[in-house]
Structure 1
Amino acid sequence: MQFDLFQLKGQVAIVTGCNTGLGQGMALALAQAGADIVGVNQSAPTETRAQVEALGRRFLDLRADMADIGCIPGLLTQALALTGRIDILVNNAGIIRRADALQFGEADWDEVLNVNLKSAFFFSQAVARHCMAQGRGGKIINVASMLSFQGGVRVPSYTASKSGVMGMTKALANEWAAHGINVNAIAPGYMATNNTAALRADESRNAAILARIPTGRWGEPSDMAGPVVFLASQASNYVNGYTLAVDGGWLAR
């Protein structure tokens, strides 16, 4: 096997929402594989930047609210001004709002769909146009969810957005594969991040979740490393429109 298929040396990856958690884990994995990182966040990705630069890779710190797609052209312009190229996009930025469906409000619906789905589509569109213009293809990786497969409870807009991410991934792959652009997604399972702190602190809920995961543990941001590097590298050149569950076997139970 040619293990250099997994190398990303000389490439540039945009990762949205990489200041903490899964986004940070994926940014670090891409940097370890050789890519320079363009981080798009609302708050300072101080730790992520320090770790990426400690690996000898460049890190461009850009700030934006992904609820507003008007920021996307400027982000791409800034990234290209520093790096001169874009090879990989990881649409990781996302939010969640919880309420019973009968009480769920329009503002929470719109905000979640705008960040999780609308911005992912238009960022993908902008990067795909650039990749086609530069003539060497590219990799787009969307972040889906277990709720791309399941319905969930009290998260109607999040479930709709993540189901949409999986469908959008297939649709874009159908159109862009012929241009050398691979569009795929990763669906994380139950991960030990800030977003799940309350679940893990609830003894009964934590036990119930672990009982369903065949591996018997919560996932870690480092568990996203192999999958994201695979989908960003030449190793996945014949993988298109697929959503890869990284869930410790949750969906198999």
Structure 2
Amino acid sequence: MSTHDDAGELDKIDTIAVAPSDFGLAGKHVLVTGGGRGLGQGIAVSAALAGARVTIMARSTDQLDETVRIIEKFDGDCGAHPADLSDIEAIPRHVAAIGERRPIDGVVHAAGVQVRKDAVDVSIADWRFVQTMNVEAPFFLSTAIARAQQADGRPGSHVFVGSLNSTLGLPRIAPYAASKTALLGIARVLSTEWSRTGIRANVIGPGYFHTKLTEDLLSRRENQERILGRIPMGRLGTPADLGGTAVFLLSDASRYLTGQLINVDGGWLAS
């Protein structure tokens, strides 16, 4: 039989311990951009397996359909929303359409582009293309989602995908490095503006993962050996490695974490 003191302690349990259910995403609706392939697909599948209702956004309907099939195979809940995020002015309409089906609780900005050139060879078109996709699209997508969350008085979690370049400079990717550094600044500003309404903003900094963006780099044996030699874990990252961190940041278990950069790099920056 419980005593009165025991009941009092149970009433305060949420202030002294995190419940296992807080690490899951049951009852949450999560939007993942770039969810048709690579890291975005891995994050979408991880979120669905954690119990979230997932909406994935990308240009390629075929890729989106593949992710939906994977998630549904494991009895997950996933819907596809084809969209071209380079059309910045259309973003509020996409958010409204997705939100009509179910309010958005969290978003992961996994879509991104890369241009590998020496800085002196980067054109204005190259620069604008990368900044549009990697900075403007996630910023205006998050602000549109947050506007709806604030109007409804709902909390939320916004997860931006940075890179090692959010912390250091690597050669031949000046536009990309600028964009990923910008995301860290954006997340910090949003965290200061939105925290009092329960909306959080954080950045995941992936190290080296074998994706479409790194395929040209890792296809060369000398590059792969050089990179693996810098990673204490001795291997490239997998989508599952990033998915766990994304699920944590989307979940209530990270409810007091905002404005932070979490590097998922196999120990690269520590070495």
TM-score using structure 2 length: 0.90
C-alpha distance in 2 between matches for 1:15 and 1:201: 27
C-alpha distance in 2 between matches for 1:81 and 1:55: 26
**Is 1:35 aligned with 2:42?**
no
**Is 1:122 aligned with 2:140?**
yes
| Structure 2 partner of 1:51 | 70
One-letter identity of the residue aligned with 1:8:
L
| Structure 2 partner of 1:71 | 90
2:105 to 87, 91, 114: 87
C-alpha distance in 2 between matches for 1:25 and 1:195: 15
C-alpha distance in 1 between matches for 2:227 and 2:257: 31
**Is 1:180 aligned with 2:198?**
yes
SS in 1 for 2:257: coil
C-alpha distance in 2 between matches for 1:42 and 1:216: 34
One-letter identity of the residue aligned with 1:23:
G
Runs of at least 4 residues of structure 1 off by over 6 A? none
| Structure 1 partner of 2:234 | 216
**Is 1:9 aligned with 2:26?**
yes
SS in 2 for 1:195: coil
TM-fit CA distance, 1:75: 1.1
2:212 to 180, 194, 197: 194
**Is 1:22 aligned with 2:39?**
yes
| Structure 1 partner of 2:259 | 241
Check whether the contact 1:64–1:71 (CA below 8 A) recurs between aligned residues: no
SS in 1 for 2:213: helix
SS in 1 for 2:25: coil
C-alpha distance in 2 between matches for 1:54 and 1:204: 39
- What RMSD over aligned residues (CA atoms) do the two structures have, in Å? 1.2
Greater shift after overlay, 52-61 or 225-234?
Answer: 52-61
**Is 1:157 aligned with 2:172?**
no
One-letter identity of the residue aligned with 1:48:
T
Check whether the contact 1:185–1:241 (CA below 8 A) recurs between aligned residues: yes
Cα displacement string for residues 24-81 of structure 1 (whole angstroms, at most 9, x for unaligned residues) = 0100111011111111101021221111222333322112221221121221122123
SS in 2 for 1:222: helix
TM-score using structure 1 length: 0.96
C-alpha distance in 1 between matches for 2:90 and 2:59: 12
**Is 1:137 aligned with 2:155?**
yes
Cα separation, partners in 2 of 1:198 and 1:97, compared to 1, 3 Å = closer
Aligned residues: 252
C-alpha distance in 2 between matches for 1:125 and 1:203: 42
Check whether the contact 2:65–2:80 (CA below 8 A) recurs between aligned residues: no
C-alpha distance in 2 between matches for 1:113 and 1:212: 28
C-alpha distance in 2 between matches for 1:198 and 1:105: 20
C-alpha distance in 1 between matches for 2:266 and 2:260: 18
Check whether the contact 2:159–2:201 (CA below 8 A) recurs between aligned residues: yes
One-letter identity of the residue aligned with 1:239:
L
Check whether the contact 1:60–1:79 (CA below 8 A) recurs between aligned residues: no
TM-fit CA distance, 1:158: 0.6
C-alpha distance in 2 between matches for 1:110 and 1:74: 23
Check whether the contact 2:48–2:78 (CA below 8 A) recurs between aligned residues: no
SS in 1 for 2:218: helix
2:127 to 92, 99, 109: 109
C-alpha distance in 2 between matches for 1:128 and 1:226: 24
